[in-house]
Structure 1
């Protein structure tokens, strides 16, 4: 018996397989999305690093900042480097959250993005797949109330970069929280 597939059916089948493969190696648990004022001022607070990877939190912060801007947030500032702890590693606890929230209030920000990095590495083995785990929270600066939160993890294929996997994961998380522009 001979089976023939049209190019359209073959493309659809491959797209479905790719989507299933990606879904199988990523998890995302998110609160319901919020409808933030995209014209309001935002700040990215220092993320905590609960990994063994130096500077993982700063890498995730940088990606999150760029993604917020790419998703239509008009005004985003990052917590000043001069006010951050210089250590390569931290205990996984938020670094000076009270000080950071004070800075956010003095910056007249309406929303703050905070986060934590739980995994940021290449898995040990022949293929060395990238693996990322992140949690994010959107905080209303004036009240300190957490408006939205999510946790997610993703591992990639051996030819993917760690930054690429992290960018895709954080982008998916932010889309779940604030929607697409």
Structure 2
């Protein structure tokens, strides 16, 4: 009987795949006075993926107690404006708005898989950049695959929450996410 329960448990959890990889500050926390959140880069076929994950990330950051700067004009940027170029326009905007850091993100995957199950799959990378120096002080990547009747939104929210929880930001409540 116990083998059957163990087999069922393994079978059930096999569909709940997630991966998170982070690096940056060698155990030190980052002191952020204000964080600028520009629109994420969309590297998917879904034209709304970047907007959706930018909004989810903003919600998660506010819930974690991280001081966020995000205007509606910034959120409404067009797809053509989303790519961060070498001109440093987001770094300049962060300095002009008094933000000490900016959070740059890329959505790599945002879809339902094409296998028999059709499970939702999400992949995202975020990096925190010092606005004064342009140095990347932290970077993380998260991938999540939902299961059964999960939506791509719930899979995305889990991936975002895992990354926000992993951010080594001083004074944040980011450990609250599960």
Q: Above 0.5 in TM-score?
A: yes
Structure 2 CA distance for partners of 1:66 and 1:85, relative to 1, 3 Å: closer
Conserved? CA contact 2:112–2:121, under 8 Å: yes
Match status 1:36 vs 2:30: yes
Conserved? CA contact 2:142–2:162, under 8 Å: no
Question: Could you state the TM-score of these two structures normalised by the residue count of structure 1?
Answer: 0.77
SS at match of 1:133: strand
Conserved? CA contact 1:34–1:177, under 8 Å: no
Structure 2 CA distance for partners of 1:163 and 1:34, relative to 1, 3 Å: farther
Aligned to 2:70: 78
SS at match of 1:116: strand
Tell me how large the CA RMSD over aligned residues is: 3.0
Aligned to 2:137: 147
SS at match of 1:180: helix
Conserved? CA contact 2:144–2:158, under 8 Å: no
Structure 2 CA distance for partners of 1:141 and 1:164, relative to 1, 3 Å: same
Runs of 5+ consecutive residues of structure 2 not aligned to the other structure: 169-173
Aligned to 2:175: 180
Q: What is the CA–CA distance in structure 2 between the aligned matches of 1:72 and 1:21, rounded to whole Å?
A: 33
Q: What is the CA–CA distance in structure 2 between the aligned matches of 1:34 and 1:62, rounded to whole Å?
A: 27
Match status 1:168 vs 2:162: no
Conserved? CA contact 1:46–1:79, under 8 Å: no
Q: What is the CA–CA distance in structure 1 between the aligned matches of 2:130 and 2:74, rounded to whole Å?
A: 24
Aligned equivalent of 1:53, options 46, 51, 72: 46
Cα deviation 1:33-88 (Å, max 9, x = unaligned): 551236x1111122110100012111111111110111121x2122553685423x
Question: Which structure 2 residues correspond to residues 117-136 of structure 1 after superposition, within 5 A?
Answer: 117-136=107-126
Runs of 5+ consecutive residues of structure 1 not aligned to the other structure: 5-9
Worse-superposed segment, 54-63 or 91-100: 91-100
Count of residues in correspondence between the two structures: 166
Aligned to 1:7: none
